[in-house]
């Protein structure tokens, strides 16, 4: 039987940000961390909204399903809440957040995860990352296109490919992990991992007298390295108290050292450093992302070989709509300008393939070195040469559209319904 023997958490605005957009919530054996993005105060709202879904439950509620399934269901609920909040208020349009959650059950550890915050285990001095980064560089590493070391300094490392709040549905990674007595776990935002190499993180945690000290030193190390982002760390150590192992049989894991304290139960946005100016500047992730690679090129017709060459999407998702009054273009500009990430599966545009047929693409009509930000949804039977110049412009301007709008345009072309479609 597992028991959380010790835990500690810290959050810090860092040295470059005006505000802390990270949020966390701890009630052992449940640990929740979110890193919001969205500019102004939207990132704070996004991360706090997500974390509050767990705080309102006061823990992991009973119900059908395994621990990890119940965690994932709550993450999905958090996604809906962030998404609906983003749709309901113009100032929150396009906001999103990562969310990583861990729950220590009786026999193993359950994890649910979306985004590029990370979950690690430190076992026998070795730090291993258990979650995948849902980021552009994470994808490149998994495809073997760059090494983990190259990813650490990659100019596009701030671009997130999956986050809560962007759509009304999100794919949640969830799994269980077989814990060993003495394992130490770390949840952290990228304000730590972007500044401090894994080897140094391992050294600090392994060398600290206790987890509270380790958490303080991790935050200090990130700040000493520049503190370019908000830094949040949650550490917990698990012991096996199975009868017969000579260990004390534990009661509920809320007992003793694991009982929540006032310090535990807080979120970073509510209790971040004092004197946060209101109207904080946009998420500095934008600086990293926009200045170092997400420089939209002049849109060009995608090449047929491009979208299909190694950049195939994992899955196709249904476009689920954006707030009334916002075009897809506006939302993407908000995403780029405020969050520095690109929800590349959330928008669509119409173009032509190499053979000149009108084609629906998902993503953005741009390429980064080594990767296209779009992929083919389907190709119509309409040759672009048979359209009038006016309509040709419409299908080659690569205007960002909702799924329904883009499909509607292609259907009209197929049925010859578009005004001025036939060249005279």
Least distance from Mg ion to the Cβ atom of residue 51, Å: 14
Least distance from Mg ion to the Cβ atom of residue 229, Å: 4
Whether the Cβ atoms of residue 51 and residue 22 lie closer than 8 Å to each other: no
Which of 229, 239, 264, 353 touches Mg ion (CB under 5 A)?
A: 229
Least distance from Mg ion to the Cβ atom of residue 144, Å: 26
C-alpha 22/C-alpha 32 separation (Å) is 11
Q: Which is nearer to Mg ion, 293 or 296 (CB)?
A: 293
Contacts 24+ apart (CB under 8 A), 61-66: 66/110, 66/176
For residue 190, the number of C-alpha atoms closer than 13 Å in the C-beta half-sphere is: 26
Q: Which is nearer to Mg ion, 35 or 267 (CB)?
A: 35
C-alpha 272/C-alpha 127 separation (Å) is 28
Which of 108, 139, 190, 283 touches Mg ion (CB under 5 A)?
A: 190
Phi/psi of residue 140, nearest 5 degrees = -65, -40
379 pairs with which residues across the strands?
359
Per-residue mark of binding to Mg ion, 34-53 (x: CB under 5 A) = -x------------------
Q: Which is nearer to Mg ion, 190 or 267 (CB)?
A: 190
116 binds Mg ion (CB under 5 A): no
Q: Which is nearer to Mg ion, 19 or 86 (CB)?
A: 19
How many residues touch Mg ion under the rule CB under 5 A: the total is 5
Whether the Cβ atoms of residue 346 and residue 403 lie closer than 8 Å to each other: no
133 binds Mg ion (CB under 5 A): no
C-alpha 36/C-alpha 49 separation (Å) is 10
Q: Which is nearer to Mg ion, 79 or 286 (CB)?
A: 286
Q: Which is nearer to Mg ion, 15 or 123 (CB)?
A: 15
Of 134-163, which residues contact Mg ion (CB under 5 A)?
A: none
Q: Which is nearer to Mg ion, 7 or 285 (CB)?
A: 285
The kind and range of the H/E element at 289 are helix 285-291
C-alpha 271/C-alpha 49 separation (Å) is 15
Q: Which is nearer to Mg ion, 191 or 250 (CB)?
A: 191
Strand pairing report for 400-401 and 348-352: antiparallel
Q: Which stretch binds Mg ion (CB under 5 A): 102-110, 158-166, 206-214, 227-235?
A: 227-235
Least distance from Mg ion to the Cβ atom of residue 17, Å: 9
Place of tokens 């260990």: 247
338 binds Mg ion (CB under 5 A): no
Whether the Cβ atoms of residue 123 and residue 132 lie closer than 8 Å to each other: no
The kind and range of the H/E element at 109 are strand 109-114
Q: Which is nearer to Mg ion, 229 or 264 (CB)?
A: 229
Least distance from Mg ion to the Cβ atom of residue 77, Å: 23
* Both structure tokens of 404: 């329904």
Burial class (CB in 10 A: 0-12, 13-18, 19+), 262: exposed
DSSP 3-state of 417: coil
Of 392-411, which residues contact Mg ion (CB under 5 A)?
A: none
23 binds Mg ion (CB under 5 A): no
Q: Which stretch binds Mg ion (CB under 5 A): 41-49, 53-61, 188-196, 367-375?
A: 188-196
Q: Which is nearer to Mg ion, 133 or 353 (CB)?
A: 133
DSSP 3-state of 323: coil
Q: Which stretch binds Mg ion (CB under 5 A): 221-229, 298-306, 316-324, 381-389?
A: 221-229
Burial class (CB in 10 A: 0-12, 13-18, 19+), 133: buried
Which of 189, 253, 269, 359 touches Mg ion (CB under 5 A)?
A: 189
Question: What's the count of helices (H) and strands (E) in the chain, helices before strands?
Answer: 13, 15
Q: Which stretch binds Mg ion (CB under 5 A): 52-60, 189-197, 273-281, 368-376?
A: 189-197
Least distance from Mg ion to the Cβ atom of residue 227, Å: 11
Q: Which residues bind Mg ion (CB under 5 A)?
A: 35, 189-191, 229
């Amino acid at each position: 039987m597992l028991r959380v023997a010790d835990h500690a958490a810290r959050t810090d605005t860092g040295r470059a940000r005006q505000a802390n957009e990270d949020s966390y919530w701890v009630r052992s054996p449940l640990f929740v961390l979110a890193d919001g993005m969205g500019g102004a105060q939207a990132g704070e709202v996004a991360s706090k909204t997500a974390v509050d879904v767990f705080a309102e439950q006061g823990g992991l509620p009973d119900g059908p399903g395994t621990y990890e399934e119940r965690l994932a269901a709550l993450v999905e609920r958090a996604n809906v809440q962030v998404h609906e909040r983003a749709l309901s208020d113009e100032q929150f349009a396009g906001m999103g957040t990562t969310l990583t959650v861990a729950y220590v059950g009786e026999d193993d550890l359950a994890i649910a995860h979306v985004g590029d915050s990370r979950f690690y285990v430190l076992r026998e001095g070795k730090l291993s990352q258990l979650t995948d980064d849902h980021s552009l560089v994470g994808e490149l590493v998994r495809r073997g296109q760059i090494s983990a070391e190259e990813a650490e300094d990659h100019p596009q490392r701030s671009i997130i490919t999956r986050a809560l709040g962007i759509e009304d549905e999100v794919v949640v990674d969830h799994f269980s992990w077989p814990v060993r007595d003495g394992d130490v776990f770390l949840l952290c935002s990228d304000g730590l991992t972007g500044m401090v190499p894994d080897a140094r993180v391992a050294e600090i945690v392994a060398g600290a007298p206790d987890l509270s000290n380790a958490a303080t030193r991790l935050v200090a190390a990130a700040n000493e390295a520049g503190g370019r982002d908000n830094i949040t760390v949650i550490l917990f150590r698990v012991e096996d108290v199975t009868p017969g192992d000579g260990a004390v049989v534990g009661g509920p894991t809320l007992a003793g050292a694991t009982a929540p304290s006032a310090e535990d139960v807080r979120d970073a946005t509510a209790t971040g450093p004092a004197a946060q100016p209101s109207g904080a500047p946009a998420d500095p992730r934008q600086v990293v992302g926009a200045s170092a690679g997400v420089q939209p090129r002049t849109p060009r017709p995608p090449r047929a070989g491009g979208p299909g060459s190694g950049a195939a999407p994992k899955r196709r998702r249904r476009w689920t709509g954006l707030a009334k009054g916002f075009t897809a273009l506006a939302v993407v500009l908000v995403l780029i300008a405020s969050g520095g990430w690109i929800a590349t599966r959330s928008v669509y545009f119409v173009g032509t393939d190499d053979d000149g047929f009108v084609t629906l693409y998902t993503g953005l009509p741009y390429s980064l070195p080594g990767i296209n930000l779009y992929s083919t949804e389907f190709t119509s039977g309409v040759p672009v040469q048979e359209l009038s110049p006016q309509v040709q412009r419409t299908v080659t301007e690569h205007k960002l559209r909702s799924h329904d709008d883009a499909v509607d345009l292609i259907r009209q072309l197929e049925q010859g319904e578009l005004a001025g479609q036939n060249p005279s």
